[in-house]
């Protein structure tokens, strides 16, 4: 079993390497690939170090699985060479997510879709993964007929530079120094930015459309009415979502809690009397999606529910989900 990590030196790529080791993925050789400027870098893996090689079209010979952690344009460029080499490409970028022939997979939700791949499997957007894991147990009780979601997305969702920028701005504010920005369009410290991605003609951001369209594909609900608002918040790690859902048949709060408590990938954290609910700090650096604040949606006339969930967008929202897809292929 020869497994390659494409984009190995980036934040997600490094996390993929870490997750492969933690989960003891059954590989015989790990191949680390990155751009020319990173060639020769050595990264730790299971008590040893692996040297990074160049990620060109000839890099995939003999590979069985390639875990992609690069931008969409690079994925599109290299995907044909990966497939031609006989490997399965599990791609974390947005390049192929909505392609009809490419499965878009969250293993706790639709692992069976991965079996119909034709060489490429897409890893969903980070917020999509967290949302799908949280709502799927209720969707299994009674299919969703409407979803309204608001995301509160950590700065690390914009890469390592997002963390550096927030830390620098907080330090500047504390020292009464000028606040500089480069990653985000506005100061993120002490602020919220209701834009992630570019706007379309209707005023929706690309991140909002990803959440809508990808959830529809993963849940096998292609016409699910969905409204999304995605917001960048001054949190270091882990995304949070407020979600309102309606279902074909009413689902009680108690039934929803029981389904989520029993669902793979979920942890029910829902005890308002004890002030127990999901929070980003608690969900960082682990792989479960915490779900709580489950309650009746008082605005809904058809028995809707409201919930709050949090998950680590670097792990479950990216690296771990990709490794889980690879594990499901082996099974």
Segment 41-90, tens digit of pLDDT: 999 999 999 999 999 999 999 999 999 999 999 999 999 999 999 999 99
- Calculate mean pLDDT across residues 158-162: 91
How many C-beta neighbours within 10 Å does residue 28 have?
A: 8
User: How sure is the predictor about 167, in pLDDT bands with cuts at 50, 70 and 90?
Assistant: very high
Quote the pTM value: 0.96
pLDDT of residue 246: 97
**Per-residue model confidence (pLDDT) at position 199:** 97
Instruction: Give the pLDDT band (50/70/90) at residue 160.
Output: confident
pLDDT for the residue numbered 173: 97
Distance CA 292, CA 277 (A): 5
Q: How far is CA 306 from CA 102, 133, 149, 271, 275, in A?
A: 32, 15, 10, 15, 17
The pLDDT value given to residue 303: 85
Asked if the model's pLDDT at residue 230 lies above 90, the reply is: yes
Residue 34: pLDDT band with limits 50, 70, 90: very high
In DSSP terms, 150 is beta-bridged to 229, 242
**Eight-state DSSP code of residue 25:** -
pLDDT score, position 301: 81
- Contact at 8 Å (CB) between 117 and 88? yes
SS (H, E, C) 62-127: CCCEEEECCCHHHHHHHHHHHHHCCCEEEECCCCCCCCCCCCECCHHHHHHHHHHCCCEEECCCHH
CB 79 within 8 A of CB 102: no
pLDDT of residue 300: 85
Q: Over the chain, what is the mean pLDDT?
A: 97
What is the structure's pLDDT at 172?
98
Residues annotated as catalytic (active site), given as ranges: 126, 239
Which pLDDT belongs to residue 112?
96
Q: How far apart are CA 232 and CA 208, in angstroms?
A: 12
β-strand partners of 231: 152
Enter the tokens of residue 114: 């991965």
Rounded CA Rg of the chain: 20
CA angle 46, 47, 49 (to 5 degrees): 90
The share of the chain scoring above pLDDT 70, in percent, equals 100
Residue 331 above 90 pLDDT? no
CB 147 within 8 A of CB 121: no
Question: First vs last Cα of the chain: how many Å apart?
Answer: 14
Q: How far apart are CA 269 and CA 9, in angstroms?
A: 34
**What span, in angstroms and rounded, lies between the C-alpha atoms of 54 and 6?**
9
Span 242-268, average pLDDT = 97
Q: For residue 93, give the nearest of 33, 17, 153, 7 by alpha carbon.
A: 7
In the block, which residue shows the tokens 């002490």?
190
Domains and CATH numbers, the chain: 2-124+318-330 (3.40.50.720), 128-313 (3.30.360.10)
Across residues 244-250, what is the average pLDDT?
A: 97
Is pLDDT at 140 greater than 90 in this prediction? yes
Q: Which residues contact 308 (CB under 8 A, 6 or more apart)?
A: 240, 241, 242, 243, 277, 278, 291, 292, 293
What tens digit of pLDDT does each residue of 276-301 get?
A: 999 999 999 999 999 999 999 999 88
CA atoms of 224 and 137, how far apart (whole Å):
16
How many residues appear in the chain? 331
pLDDT for 302: 85
């Amino acid at each position: 079993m020869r497994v390659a990590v494409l984009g190995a030196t980036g934040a997600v790529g490094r996390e993929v390497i870490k997750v492969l080791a933690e989960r003891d993925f059954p590989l015989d050789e790990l191949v680390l690939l990155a751009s020319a400027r990173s060639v020769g870098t050595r990264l730790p893996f299971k008590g040893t170090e692996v040297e990074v090689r160049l990620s060109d079209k000839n890099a995939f010979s003999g590979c069985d699985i390639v875990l992609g952690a690069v931008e969409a344009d690079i994925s599109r460029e290299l995907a044909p060479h990966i497939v031609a080499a006989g490997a399965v490409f599990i791609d974390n970028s947005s390049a192929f997510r909505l392609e009809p022939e490419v499965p878009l997979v969250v293993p706790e939700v639709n692992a069976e879709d991965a079996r119909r791949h034709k060489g490429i499997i897409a890893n969903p957007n980070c917020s999509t993964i967290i949302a799908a894991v949280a709502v799927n147990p209720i969707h299994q009780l009674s299919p969703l007929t409407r979803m309204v979601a608001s995301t509160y997305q950590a700065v690390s969702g914009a890469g390592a530079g997002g963390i550096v920028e927030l830390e620098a701005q907080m330090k500047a504010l504390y020292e009464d120094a000028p606040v500089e920005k480069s990653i985000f369009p506005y100061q993120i410290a002490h602020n919220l930015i209701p834009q992630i991605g570019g706007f379309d003609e209707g005023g929706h951001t690309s991140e909002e459309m990803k959440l809508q369209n990808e959830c529809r594909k993963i849940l096998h609900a292609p016409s699910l009415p969905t409204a999304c608002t995605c917001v960048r918040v001054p949190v270091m790690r882990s995304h949070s979502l407020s979600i309102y859902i309606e279902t074909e048949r009413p689902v009680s709060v108690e039934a929803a809690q029981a389904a989520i408590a029993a669902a793979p990938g979920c942890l029910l954290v829902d005890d308002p009397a004890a002030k127990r609910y999901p929070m980003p700090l608690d969900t960082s650096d682990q792989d479960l999606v915490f779900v709580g604040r489950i309650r009746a949606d008082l605005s809904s006339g058809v028995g809707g529910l409201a919930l709050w969930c949090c998950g680590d967008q670097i792990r479950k929202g990216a690296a771990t989900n990709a490794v889980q897809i690879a594990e499901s292929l082996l099974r």
